[in-house]
Amino acid sequence: MRPGEIRLEEGRLETGWWGPEPEATPSIVLLHEGLGSLGLWRDFPARLAAATGRGVFAWSRFGYGQSDPVALPRPLDYLRREATELLPRVLDAARLRRFILFGHSDGASIAALHAGACADARLQGVVVVAPHVFTEPIGLAGVAAMQARYATGDLRTRLARHHRDPDIAFHGWAGAWLDPSFPASFDLLPEVRRIRLPVLAIQGEADEYGTPAQLHAIAREAPGPVELLLLPGVGHAPQAEVPEAVLAAVRRFTARLPAGE
């Protein structure tokens, strides 16, 4: 990884880059999950760059990893703000020319929102892994279970290894998802209906935070080409549990996209 940083009006973001520079080839932009960070991608970005021949760019969003903190509570539309207000400025600051978005969990929601709501001519396609485009009881129950672990178990200690302030990282995420008003406010299908670019949607059939209904909704509602990959026996993080299957799918997906400007 080539470490770096981006400074925006709100503060500093830690960044990382793997593989070719954006001038050389289209890039892959990684958007981490609700408790993720730059470091928690582990070796996946390097393997993704090697598998696709594309450069890979990632960062920790505000409040995560070693990036600057945010004030709590997060607004209930924080994912929409990330997708439409912050992400465009990060992409500009990174000087990306052509790219796909690869988002996991909350990051997949951000990717779908950006693809549907922002007219970005640089964007070639979207990979969403364990996406959330509406709330489900299983997902909310999973967040509630994590909140109990954070209060009584070793989860805070584990998160402290990866986040400058684990309380901000955790409570910013859990506080929004468990707010009684969140389910009614979280509906990404209007944006999904405007995604005309190619989409690769990946989910484990044993995902503890969502059902295949998420993928089927994307396939049904998105007007562009959608490829689904459901992985038997796999949980919420396919890129960590079965990386070879995910890498192979993304390699096929990117091979069908234009290589130049």
Which CATH number fits the domain that encloses residue 56? 3.40.50.1820
Q: Is residue 40 part of a domain?
A: yes
pLDDT in single tens digits along all 261 residues of the chain? 999 999 999 999 999 999 999 999 999 999 999 999 999 999 999 999 999 999 999 999 999 999 999 999 999 999 999 999 999 999 999 999 999 999 999 999 999 999 999 999 999 999 999 999 999 999 999 999 999 999 998 999 999 999 999 999 999 999 999 999 999 999 999 999 999 999 999 999 999 999 999 999 999 999 999 999 999 999 999 999 999 999 999 999 999 997 655
Q: Is residue 103 part of a domain?
A: yes
CA separation, residue 133 to residues 19, 139, 186, 194 (Å): 31, 11, 8, 13
Q: 216: how many CB neighbours lie within 10 A of its CB?
A: 15
Q: Is residue 199 part of a domain?
A: yes
Is the separation of the CB atoms in 91 and 175 below 8 Å?
Answer: no
**105: containing domain:** 2-255
Q: How many domains, the chain?
A: 1
Q: Is residue 241 part of a domain?
A: yes
Secondary structure tally for the chain: helices H, strands E:
12, 8
